[in-house]
Amino acid sequence: MEKLVLKTIKKYGLILPGQILVAAVSGGPDSVAMLHLIRKLTVSWGVKIHVAHLNHMFRGAQSEEEACFVAGMAQEMGLDCTVESFDVPSYISRTGLSPEEGARNIRYSFLQRIAQACKADAVMTAHHANDQAETVLLHLIRGAGPEGLAAISPREGNLIRPLLETGREEILHYCREKRLAYRMDPSNEEDVYQRNKVRLDLIPRLKKLNPQIINALTRTANICRSENQLVQEITEEAMGQVELVRQERGATLDLNRLDQFHLAIRRRLIRKIVDDFTHAPGSLSFDHTEDILNLRPGKEICLPGRLYARKEKGRLIFSRCPNFPQEDFDFFTPVPLRVPGITRIPQLNISLETEVIPWPEPHYVKNKNSAAFHLNVLDGQLFVRGRLPGDRFQPKGLSGTKKLKDFFIDEKIPHEQRKAVPLVISGDKIIWVVGYRTGEQTEATPLNEKALWIKVKKLSRA
Residue ranges for the known binding site for ATP are: 26-31
Q: For strand 20-24 and strand 48-55, is the pairing parallel, antiparallel, or unpaired? A: parallel
Non-local CB neighbours of 339 within 8 Å, separated by 6+ positions: 192, 354, 356, 378, 382, 452
Output the 3-class SS for 128-171. CHHHHHHHHHHHHHHCCCHHHHCCCCCEECCEECCCCCCCHHHH
3-state secondary structure of 127: coil
Would you say 438 and 432 are in contact if contact means Cβ atoms under 8 Å apart? yes
Question: Which segments are annotated as binding site?
Answer: 26-31
3-state secondary structure of 409: helix
Angular region, 43: left φ>0, alpha ψ -120 to 50, beta rest: alpha
CA angle 40, 43, 47 (to 5 degrees): 115
DSSP state of 367: B
Q: What is the DSSP string of 45-81?
A: TT-EEEEEEEE--SSTHHHHHHHHHHHHHHHHHT-EE
Torsion angles phi and psi, residue 427, rounded to 5: 65, -120
Non-local CB neighbours of 148 within 8 Å, separated by 6+ positions: 139, 140, 142
DSSP state of 348: G
CA distance 206 to 130: 13
Q: For strand 402-403 and strand 382-385, is the pairing parallel, antiparallel, or unpaired? A: unpaired
Burial class of residue 382 in the structure, from the number of CB atoms within 10 Å of its CB (0-12 exposed, 13-18 middle, 19+ buried) = buried
Q: What is the DSSP string of 239-304?
A: HTTTT-EEETTEEEEEHHHHHTS-HHHHHHHHHHHHHHHHT-TT-S-HHHHHHHHTPPTT-EEEET
Is the previous residue joined to 162 through a cis bond, with omega within 30 degrees of 0?
A: no
